[in-house]
Amino acid sequence: MPIQVRYLNDPNQECVIRPAPLVSISQSVSKTGGGDAFGGTYQITLTGKILEDRGFPLARRSDGTLFEKVTAAGNVAWGGTLQGPYKTFDTTVSHYDDKRPATQAVPNYYKLDAILSKQKALRALFAIDGQRLEVTSVHGNEPEFICYPRVVSISFSEGIYINQSDYTVTLEADTILDYNHDVDHDGNPLYLKNDPYHAEYNPMGSGSPSILSSKPKNTQDILSSGGFFIESFDESWSIETDESLGETITNDANGGQVINKSYRLTHTMSATGKPHYFPNKSNVDDVIKVPAWKNAQLFVNKKLQSTGHGEQNVHLLYPNVRNHVGSGTMSLIEQYRGYDHSRTEEVSISNGSYNVTETWLLASGTAYENFNMNISSEVGSPFISVSIDGSIKGLSESGPSGVSVGGRLPQSPTKKSAYGNALEKYRSISNQGKFGIGSQIYKRANNAVAVELNSQPNSISLAQNEYDGTITYNLSFDNRPTNILSGVMSESISVNDTYPGDVFAIIPVIGRKQGPVLQYIGGRTEYKRDLSLELVLDYTDVSYERDRKLLLQKPSLTDPIKTQLKELIQELSPQHEPGIRKWFVAPPSESWTPKEGRYSVNISWTYELDK
């Protein structure tokens, strides 16, 4: 059974090993830990002998010269048709019809040199993976089978190396081809429909595997139809609670409030591939190599594509995904959806491996929120202050292969960007940005203290990042009295009363050490009251149209503030003081800054009481 190796896959360097080694072929089936077959490997073992003066490779002296050929006419130099490693194979000598190569003239004291040189040539012949190897019968020149194996080992038995040396070459191949370069389909699990090697593999399938209706004809068909050459693979799922995230507070059936938890779902798939060599369909002399890492990548990516990642509900992300992570766990979060789908890929070229780790945030809402609350009071201030710093992170429903994750992803009724979801949540907790007693943010602050807080914040600070879908806010509340005037953002009321005092004269005296002479001249000063009102309105409500409309929108001219302002001034004027006899009003003054929404009025009264 002659063995022919195409050195460097060069068609002009067909190297026939003589004497022909014995050939042993075995097949091992690759299986997962769960017992599922996903591929197979052929082990090919060549066991042969090296003769010091006969066969191929040819023997050389230690100086590199060939031992002469023995002929009837005497010893002659070898011809110029030698190829292969160290030019030790004669490609013109056939390997069938028992045409043996000529004997070499090797003197007794050169036998060790001859055997060691032949060992060296065989090591060089099997130093490269993916070389074409043919096993041929002695009756013809057509190969019984062809393969492009990977070299596992080559070893030579110990001995005195005088007239022979035993050797063993161990090879492995993923496929065996016939003389037409078609794949041998002898039950290799690679071609089973219910196998993870193939795109039609169903991880939860039942029953015995069935052979594909149309088997791939050659290796290129195998690759194009979803077959891959891998050594091992692993797939795992994990789920855990993410305590760092808080979602929208909801009411339970008993009227209480519940903060829904968030979960992290992690899916990991890894594979280690095998380098595979095969002939090009269009030109069989052209050998194609698929690196190990590439086979692993093709397998993992094809597996991911066939499992339906586009679904939004987490229990539809994969077929029967609840069986992967536990039905009890998935029952707890059956109504949750998967957001912020991210994928991390890792390629190890040297190890031939490819790993993908996918994560989802499982949430019942479309955004999560974290906030800190600070309560402070000072001796010099009559109010208690409560400040809230919060961060809202919107969740994206776009996968890692989407056009955009977060940012300005086009909005739709069923799918929003991360920023769109963050904005929607902010509006829901801030009462559409108007706050007031209906705002969740106000309720949090108000429930934290024993006093009643003003529902309108003292200060508001907002920041947003549309790209990563975050909104941060800082609000401050206190228990100042609620505004008297409606529709104003803030108001300040200041009343200053001046009561009567003595009327006296100050008479300077030159040289008087006690200072001027104070002379009471009888009588008392008047009563006075000064009122100052400062209002801040929402300047965005101010129209900038012409024809005096900017001026006519002054609060003292527009209801309801106009009426409320008049009633407040009357209430604070001295006309309601007990024993009032008369009063007089000094010219009032107004200030109106429409671009800032600021309005102020100052009024002074002088009045007289009956006592």
Q: What pLDDT does 175 receive?
A: 87
Question: Mean pLDDT highest for which of 2-16, 317-331, 541-555?
Answer: 2-16
Q: What pLDDT does 195 receive?
A: 42
Please give, one letter per residue, the 3-state secondary structure of 324-379: HHCHHHHHHCCCCEEEEEEEEEEEECCCCEEEEEEEEEEECCCEEEEEEEEEEECC
Is-contact 230 39, C-beta < 8 A? yes
Q: How confident is the model at residue 211 (pLDDT cuts 50, 70, 90)?
A: very low
Helix axes 440-447, 418-429, angle to 10 degrees: 50
Model pLDDT for residues 306-318, shown as the tens digit of each residue: 554 433 334 444 4
Domains and CATH numbers, the chain: 3-173 (no CATH), 189-363 (no CATH), 368-478 (no CATH), 490-499+526-609 (3.30.70)
What DSSP character marks residue 313? B
How far apart are the C-alpha atoms of 84 and 511, rounded to whole Å? 133
Is-contact 95 136, C-beta < 8 A? yes
Region 508-535: what's the mean pLDDT?
A: 91
Give 329 or 79, the one with higher predicted confidence.
79
Q: How confident is the model at residue 189 (pLDDT cuts 50, 70, 90)?
A: very low
Give 407 or 106, the one with higher predicted confidence.
106
In this structure, what are the phi and psi dihedrals at residue 398, rounded to the nearest 5 degrees? -95, 135
How far apart are the C-alpha atoms of 30 and 41, rounded to whole Å? 8
In this structure, what are the phi and psi dihedrals at residue 245, rounded to the nearest 5 degrees? -115, 135
pLDDT at 188 over 70: no
End-to-end CA distance of the chain: 138
**172 three-class SS:** strand
**211 three-class SS:** strand
CA distances (Å), 201 to each of 174, 188, 190, 205, 496, in order?
A: 20, 15, 11, 8, 87
Model pLDDT for residues 109-154, shown as the tens digit of each residue: 999 999 999 999 999 999 999 999 999 877 666 788 999 999 999 9
Q: What pLDDT does 344 receive?
A: 87
Buried b (16+ CB within 10 A) or exposed e, 94-106: ebeeeeebbbbbb
Give 507 or 31, the one with higher predicted confidence.
507
How far apart are the C-alpha atoms of 570 and 563, rounded to whole Å? 11
Model pLDDT for residues 13-41, shown as the tens digit of each residue: 999 999 999 999 998 888 877 777 777 88
Instruction: Name the CA dihedral angle for 419, 423, 424, 430, rounded to a multiple of 10 degrees.
Output: 160
Q: Which of 177-186, 204-213, 431-440, 492-501 has the lowest mean pLDDT?
A: 204-213
How far apart are the C-alpha atoms of 197 and 276, rounded to whole Å? 15
Q: What pLDDT does 337 receive?
A: 73
Q: How confident is the model at residue 299 (pLDDT cuts 50, 70, 90)?
A: confident
pLDDT at 197 over 80: no
Q: What pLDDT does 206 receive?
A: 35
Model pLDDT for residues 409-451, shown as the tens digit of each residue: 344 445 678 888 899 889 988 988 888 888 889 998 998 898 8
Region 293-319: what's the mean pLDDT?
A: 63
Q: Which DSSP helix (H) or strand (E) runs through 46?
A: strand 37-51
Is-contact 388 445, C-beta < 8 A? yes
Q: How confident is the model at residue 257 (pLDDT cuts 50, 70, 90)?
A: low
pLDDT at 165 over 90: yes
How far apart are the C-alpha atoms of 148 and 44, rounded to whole Å? 11
Is-contact 565 534, C-beta < 8 A? no
Q: What pLDDT does 191 receive?
A: 39
Is-contact 52 111, C-beta < 8 A? yes
How far apart are the C-alpha atoms of 39 and 228, rounded to whole Å? 9
How far apart are the C-alpha atoms of 32 and 21, rounded to whole Å? 35
Region 64-81: what's the mean pLDDT?
A: 87
DSSP assignment of 88-121 equals: -EETTS-SSTT-PPPPB---GGGHHHHHHHHHHH
Is-contact 409 396, C-beta < 8 A? yes
Q: Show the tokens assigned to 225.
A: 């139809």
CB atoms closer than 10 angstroms to residue 553:
17
Q: Show the tokens assigned to 49.
A: 């002998």
Is-contact 171 45, C-beta < 8 A? yes
Is-contact 408 465, C-beta < 8 A? no
Instruction: Name the CA dihedral angle for 213, 216, 221, 226, rounded to a multiple of 10 degrees.
Output: 60
Is-contact 523 503, C-beta < 8 A? yes
How far apart are the C-alpha atoms of 188 and 227, rounded to whole Å? 12
What DSSP character marks residue 575? G
Q: How confident is the model at residue 561 (pLDDT cuts 50, 70, 90)?
A: confident
pLDDT at 584 over 50: yes
Q: What pLDDT does 312 receive?
A: 37
Q: How confident is the model at residue 280 (pLDDT cuts 50, 70, 90)?
A: confident
Tell me what the pLDDT averaged over the chain comes to: 81
**417 three-class SS:** coil
Model pLDDT for residues 326-345, shown as the tens digit of each residue: 544 554 555 677 777 778 88
Q: Which of 93-102, 400-409, 597-606 has the lowest mean pLDDT?
A: 400-409
Q: What pLDDT does 541 receive?
A: 66
